[in-house]
Amino acid sequence: MSTTFQGWNFTSNQNSDEDGHIILIWKDTIDVTIKLLTRQSITCEVKLPYGDQFYYTAIYASNLTEERSNIWIKLLDAFQYLKLNMYPWLVGGDLNQIVHPVEHSDPIVNSLDSQIMALRDSLNQMGLFDLNYQGPLFTWTNCRPSSPIAKKLDSVLVNMQVVSNFPQNPAAFLPPLISNHFPCMLNLAVPLPTVGTRPFKFFNYLTKHLSFLQVVFDAWAQLELRRFTLSNLCWKQKLIKGALKQLNRDNFSQIQVRVSESYHQLQRKFSWFSNKLLKLRDVAFTWMKRRVRDGNIIRFWSDNWTPFRSLLSFLATPCRPSRLGISQNATVSSICRNGYWAQPPARSVNFVNLQTYLTTVQLSEGEDTYEWVIKDILKKAYLTGDVYNQLQEPVP
């Protein structure tokens, strides 16, 4: 062949068996090393020009059941001898055997027989499975219009290493020409997506924006289609992606600069009294007491609802919310169920004091409220004069 067709090479299993019917043909740019030759298969190592390599086994299984069973044993031997579980391995050709009843056109074939189970068991042991393919389900016909039968006898089987190394390469079964078998083509030169091709994704915090659903709905409705295909879905996702990018730019771009500007605006807008109160928020926090009723609003850790003020600070050493199994955003009602406080055993003196206090707390109907407590005196309402006088006093 190299004389007639320059740059091409071939091999066959007829050298090992006169009944061999397998011929492999390849170009000089590919390095092919034959590893095993049998009556029904050829196993070789293939090295591609750009560096990738894999093992390939071509199969032409016998029509005889007993002889065909021998090929599965030979494949298992090759799998173990060549340690093919460590390399990309493709197995392709005429298996002369279906692996599932749906691969037979006759509805009478509706159960797993011993031959199907033998093949399935062998494939499971070798870690082989059917590669994704395009084209018809059935790859062989008996060419009898009066009593037609079709089966999927031809397959391209791969292991996980092939999927990892060649993720964009499905098989394609083409229309038959001179044979009653459908030829199969596998293109390993399909490039991976370039850097500019990015998957559809967006920042999940956008879902909390009030306009999120409306923005998605408007973008989806821009492209009116009578038929829905994967190509149309891609176009719709591009429209939504652009709309969500604009939503993010309009509301969340340069967020640190916006926060700083808002802070300075608040400082200019509020009076001396308000700014003083903001600067002394740690002190003012002790004056704003939460009255517990149903406990649905009060935050267990951060609100001032116990004599110990902020429990996050009170129990910060040595206990932390994550170690206690209580969420940092948990409410009082979420911790108290039917009068029982769901807390772990106490690990500190402060925690014992908290548990003792919780025995005196009973949830009731009604919403939680705020109370002003200045100098341990409960105020029925907020009084600017009292707060002003308290701010005038030096902080201890």
DSSP secondary structure string for all residues of 316-370: -SS--HHHHT--TT-BHHHHEETTEE--PPP-SHHHHHHHHHHTT----SS--EE
Average pLDDT across the chain, whole number? 82
Shared domain check, 77 and 223: no
pLDDT at 202: 77
Residues 177, 295, single domain; the answer is no
Answer with the residue of higher pLDDT: 200 or 174. 174
**208: confidence class by pLDDT, cuts 50, 70, 90:** confident
Same-domain check for residues 236 and 104: no
pLDDT of residue 274: 62
Same domain? For 116 and 142 the reply is yes
The answer to whether residue 262 sits within a structural domain is no
d(C-alpha 40, C-alpha 58), whole Å: 8
Q: Report the C-alpha gap between 276 and 392 in whole angstroms.
A: 10
- 40, 91: one domain: yes
The answer to whether 168 and 162 have CB atoms below 8 angstroms apart is no
- Domain holding 385, by residue range, is 286-392
Is 336 domain-assigned? yes
Per-residue pLDDT of 295-304, as tens digits, reads 888 888 888 8
Residue % of the chain over a pLDDT of 90: 30
How many structural domains is the chain composed of? 3
What is the arithmetic mean of pLDDT over 89-118? Answer: 93
304 shares a domain with 230: no
Domain membership of residue 195 (yes or no) is no
Whether the pLDDT of residue 74 is over 60: the answer is yes
Residue 309 has pLDDT above 90, yes or no: no
Distance of alpha carbon 157 from alpha carbon 13, whole angstroms = 21
Q: In this predicted model, what pLDDT tens digit does every residue of 255-265 receive, in sequence order?
A: 888 888 877 77
pLDDT for res 59: 94
Quick one: 304 and 245 in the same domain? no
**Does residue 296 sit in the same domain as residue 341?**
yes
Based on the domain organization, do 32 and 103 belong to the same domain? yes
- Determine, yes or no, domain membership for 361: yes
Tokens of 329: 């955003």
Position 263 in a domain: no
**Higher-scoring residue by pLDDT: 154, 253:** 154
Q: What's residue 361's pLDDT?
A: 86
Whether residue 60 is found in the same domain as residue 208 = no
- The answer to whether residue 249 scores a pLDDT higher than 70 is yes
Within 286-325, residue ranges assigned H as helices are 311-314, 321-324
Task: Mark whether 208 and 175 lie in a shared domain.
Answer: no
Q: Which of 133, 160, 186 is the last residue of a domain?
A: 186
* pLDDT band at residue 330 under the 50/70/90 scheme: confident
How far is 208 from 213, CA to CA, in rounded Å? 9
What CATH code is carried by the domain that includes residue 104? Answer: 3.60.10.10
Indicate whether 12 belongs to any domain: yes
pLDDT bin (cut points 50, 70, 90) of residue 90 is: very high
Cis-peptide into 318, omega within 30 deg: yes
Is the confidence at residue 282, as pLDDT, over 90? no
Whole-number pLDDT of residue 2: 63
Q: 15 and 149, same structural domain? A: yes
- pLDDT grade for 108, boundaries at 50, 70 and 90: very high
* 28 within domain boundaries: yes
Q: Is residue 88 part of a domain?
A: yes
